[in-house]
Structures are given as C-alpha cells and as structure tokens.
Amino acid sequence: MKEKYDVIVVGMGPGAIFMAYEMTKINKNKKVLLIEQGKRVENRVCPIEKTGKCMKCKPFCHITSGFSGAGAFSDGKLSLYNKEDEDFYVGGNLHKYVGIEETKKLIDYTDQIYLDFGADTKLEGTEHKEEVNEIKKKAKKQGLTLIDIPIRHLGTEKAHELYKKLEDYLEENKIDLKFETIVEDLIIENGVAKGVKVRSAKAQESEVEEIYGENVVIAVGRKGANWLVNMCEKHNIKTEAGVVDIGVRYELSDEVMQKINTYMYEGKFIGRPAPYGDKVRTFCQNPSGFVSSEVYDNNLTLVNGHSYKDKKSTNTNLAILVSHHFNYPFDKPIEYGRNVAKNLNELGNGNVLVQRLGDIYRGKRTWDEELKNNKIVPTLKSAVAGDITFALGYRTMTDILQFIREMDKVVEGFANPENLLYAPEIKFYSNQVVIDKNFETSIKGLYSIGDGGGMTRGLMMASASGVQMARILGSN
Ligand SMILES: Cc1cc2nc3c(=O)[nH]c(=O)nc-3n(C[C@H](O)[C@H](O)[C@H](O)COP(=O)(O)OP(=O)(O)OC[C@H]3O[C@@H](n4cnc5c(N)ncnc54)[C@H](O)[C@@H]3O)c2cc1C
C-alpha cells in the first residue's frame, strides 16, 4: 500500500512554500508533499538575457514555473500595509476571509520570515510623507486615488537567492518536494478530495500515477488558472464569475517618474476614467527596470516587468490594467483575455507588440526605424514594433488613453508621445473559486490559496495565505 500524505499541495509558488514552512514550525508530524511542474529554483534560467528573444522554453516557461512560482523572477516587491488603514487596497482579498486585524498580523509574521531568509531590512515609501500627500492631493483633483503603502524590495536576483534558502530549508525539514511533475487531475470521490493524478513533465507519454492525501491544497497561481477552470468544470467545484485584468506595460523615462520613484518606489494609482467608469490602475512599477516577457498556456506570450537591485536601466516601467467583468450571456473572462492575447501575439509574430504613445494619437503603427531613434529605448529587445490598437479592444484602449491623460496632470510627462506601450499585459485569475473562512472549497478536503483561485494578487498576500492554510490544517 502506497504511503498517504496529510497534505498535498499543487504548485510551489510562494503560497505553497509558506504553507510548508509554517507546517514545519507548528506540526512536524504532518507529512507534506509539494508538487511542481517546473524545475528547482537553482535550475531556472530565462534564456532571454543571452538570446535577446523569448525562446518559448519547453515544457514550461522558467519565468512562471518552478520553485517559487512567478515569484522567482518577480521584482520581489512585498506590499505591506499602513497601521492606520482600515482596509487592504492591494494584493488581494485575504482579509475578506480572515479579517483585517488578522491579515495585518499574518503579514507581519510573513514579512519576518522574508527578513529571516535575507530580505533587505530597508522599507521603501515610509519617508517623504509630506511630498506624498501633495501628490495625493493632485491625484484626487483628477479623480485618481493614490495608494501609498510601505514596500520591501527584494530585487529579482536577491529573490532567487532567498527562495533557494527556503527550498533548502524545506528539504532539510522533511517536506517532500516533487519537481517536473504535472498534476493532471484531482481524485475526488463522493464530494471528498482523496488525492491527485500526476505524470512526469520530462516525457510526453509518461504514465499517470495516483498520490493520496487527507487534504489537497490548490496553489497553482495564474499559471494554473486555466487548469483550475477545467478542474472546476470537471469536478463541479463551485465558482463565481471572476475578473480579467487587461492592459499594457508602460515604459517611460526615470526622469519623468523621479518623484514617485524616490518618494514611494511604487505609486499605485487607481482611477475610473469616463465614459465607462471601469477600474483602471497602475501596478508593478519598476524604477530603472526592465520590461520582460513570459509564456503562458497555449503558447501565449505576455509582457511583464521587473528590476534588479544592482543592474539598472534609465527607464521606469509599470502596468496599466483595466479590470473587466463578464456576467451574461458571456461569463468567461479567461477566454476573453486569451483571445485578446492571441490576436496581439499574431500581430507581433508570436512576440510582444510595442507602440509609441504618440503614434496611437496620430492613428498610425510604430515602425522599427522610429523605435530605433526613439528617446525612450525599449528594454525588451524581443518586442516587435506595430499597432496594438488593432487588437486591444476599443473599451480597454479608451480607458488606458484617458487614464494616461489624467495621470499626465499629476506626473508631468506621463503622456509624452515617445513613451512606449507594450501589449498584451494580462492578469489571468481563475473564476473566483468559492471558499469558506478555512479556504475549503465546495469539495471536502480540497482547499485553494494564492493567486490561482482568485484570493490573492501578489507575493505578500499569497505567502500569507499559505501561512494561514498551515495553521488551519496543522492544528489537529
Ligand atoms: C515577472 C513578474 C513580476 C512580478 N512582480 C511582483 C512584485 O514585484 N510584487 C508582487 O507582489 N507580485 C509580483 N508578481 C506576482 C507574484 O509573483 C504572484 O502574485 C505570486 O507568485 C503568486 O503566488 P502563488 O503561490 O499564488 O502562485 P505562483 O507563484 O504563480 O506559483 C504557482 C505554481 O504552480 C505551478 N503549477 C500550476 N499548475 C500546476 C499543475 N497542474 N501541476 C503542477 N504545478 C502546477 C506553476 O508552475 C507555478 O510554479 C510578479 C509576477 C511576475 C510573473
């Protein structure tokens, strides 16, 4: 008879890692297995730096898969909170399940683990309160809200080192880590989770193996959002209509963003521009950073951005994202996002498209020659000059352009014609998986944490959701 685990976790992103870490602290008797389709963190290398173009790594993109999930190549900006805030404005909805005060405590605890494993003790965005308040006032006049919260910046290369230490720690503390293994299916009998069906990612025709566990935790991140949609349909796991965030990665000079970069490191602006009133927000700002690309399911190439602690460019990049909801008769946000991405990828011959803001206003595409002579030199070398307005959708495009105009009144130069828009930047979340306050789905013994099921949207909350999951499952 095969051994049975107390807890099986699908995925090895921050949600899963912090779940396992906390379990080693509170209940060493629990047998825990983490299963990941990608590689160990030390074997994750994105070839784009050498090749200058995305090689569409098989079987999985190193940026999105492997130990530490999307966290490995992330900029590692850990979003904390202000003590006086009575709500959480970024990072997700953990507080809706565990309450505001408990979420603050969880974040403090999780932050300390990051510090123990080598995170920088310096916090960004805690000084310059007066200057930040001035910018806040200016933003308010334009109908924009500026969220300023302290940020701990790991930096891409430091994030790698930190997660390697966590990988070693988990193995030293008897957590089983199974790499390059795809969880194909869940084993569910009479409405109760019993385990998972896996196969090796190394061979296409590998045999399916069954692994049994008392509890199964889904922590598949955005990379697994599509897989999770299929699981929910197949096993009747309850979901609610979700959201898809569609937009662009915007690149402009550090000079223009100097005040925001200095005072806050990352300025999180939220608006609801006319005429649609859709929520438009800036996200993942990277001072002196680099635009990057990543490959998702069905070979979709998406744009993202990050910055290093030591290596610097002279550009700042940030995402401008529009949240789209769909209810009736169409309720498939992931499907919609995928179609937008597919069209954009086709226009870019499989690559990310880039266009100058001024060209959009002039109603023309951007040409290679123009990009070569552009004041803002693109940091993503594989991006192809073209016309994103062919595929981004009128509503999304109108929202973004109006938002940029409003931002220009807060940050002079934000609407400079030589600024660059890369697309598609899309944040896929599964349809929101319905979970209770113990993160249990409508299937007994099946839990969902992190970004994949729609509970969180960033490193800190995904990690904190893992800590809480361990406390729930480790308490008996
Ligand atoms: C380039 C980039 C920059 C980012 N920068 C920041 C930042 O600065 N700050 C911030 O807060 N957030 C940032 N993020 C987002 C952050 O990385 C995520 O919010 C976080 O990693 C979510 O954690 P998670 O554990 O929910 O899932 P993930 O980290 O996505 O991990 C999920 C894992 O599950 C695996 N998986 C999925 N399906 C299966 C399956 N069927 N079988 C086996 N394994 C599976 C995947 O391979 C993946 O490794 C960034 C993301 C990217 C890509």
Break the chain into its structural domains and give their ranges: 4-119+155-240+430-474, 129-148+243-428
Give the pLDDT band of residue 196 (cuts 50, 70, 90).
very high
Task: State pLDDT tens for residues 373-412.
Answer: 999 999 999 999 999 999 999 999 999 999 999 999 999 9
Q: Is 451 in the pocket of ligand 1 (CB under 6 A)?
A: yes
The best mutation among 163, 234, 459 to test binding of ligand 1, ranked by most ligand atoms within 8 Å of the C-beta, falls on 459
pLDDT of residue 323: 94
Question: From the alpha carbon of 76, which atom of ligand 1 is closest?
Answer: 8
Determine the residue of 17, 22, 65, 283 to mutate for testing ligand 1's pocket, defined as the one with the most ligand atoms within 8 A of the Cβ atom: 65
Q: What pTM was computed for the model?
A: 0.84
pLDDT at residue 89 greater than cutoff 90? no
What's the rounded mean pLDDT across residues 431-450? 95
Q: Which residue has its alpha carbon closest to ligand 1 atom 50?
A: 74
Task: Read off the amino acid at residue 467.
Answer: V
Q: Kindly state if the Cβ of 198 falls inside 6 Å of ligand 1.
A: no
Average pLDDT over the chain reads: 92
Residue 135 to residues 47, 52, 317, 401: CA-CA distances in angstroms? Answer: 39, 37, 19, 21
User: By alpha-carbon position, which residue is closest to atom 20 of ligand 1?
Assistant: 459
Is ligand 1 within 6 A of the CB of residue 152?
A: no
Cβ neighbour number for residue 52 with a 10 Å cutoff: 10
> What distance in angstroms lies between residue 453's CA and the mean position of ligand 1's atoms?
12
458 C-alpha to ligand 1 centroid (Å): 8
Closest CA relative to residue 97, chosen from 465, 431, 442: 465
- Is pLDDT above 80 for 159? yes
Question: If you measure from the C-alpha of residue 387 to the centroid of ligand 1, how many angstroms do you get, rounded to a whole number?
Answer: 29
Which atom of ligand 1 is the closest one to the Cα of 184? 41
Q: Is 442 helix (H, G, I), strand (E, B) or coil?
A: coil
Q: What are phi and psi of 252, to 5 degrees?
A: -145, 175
Ligand 1 contacts CB of residue 302 (under 6 A): no
Is CATH 3.40.190.10 the classification given to domain 4-119+155-240+430-474?
no
At residue 61, the pLDDT reads 82
**Quick check: 355 and 312 in contact, CB under 8 A?**
no
Q: Whose CA is nearest to atom 4 of ligand 1?
A: 74
Element (H, E) at 162: helix 156-172
Q: Confidence class of residue 74 from pLDDT cuts 50, 70 and 90?
A: low
**Å from CA of 69 to ligand 1 middle:** 4
CA 344, CA 298: separation in Å to the nearest integer?
14
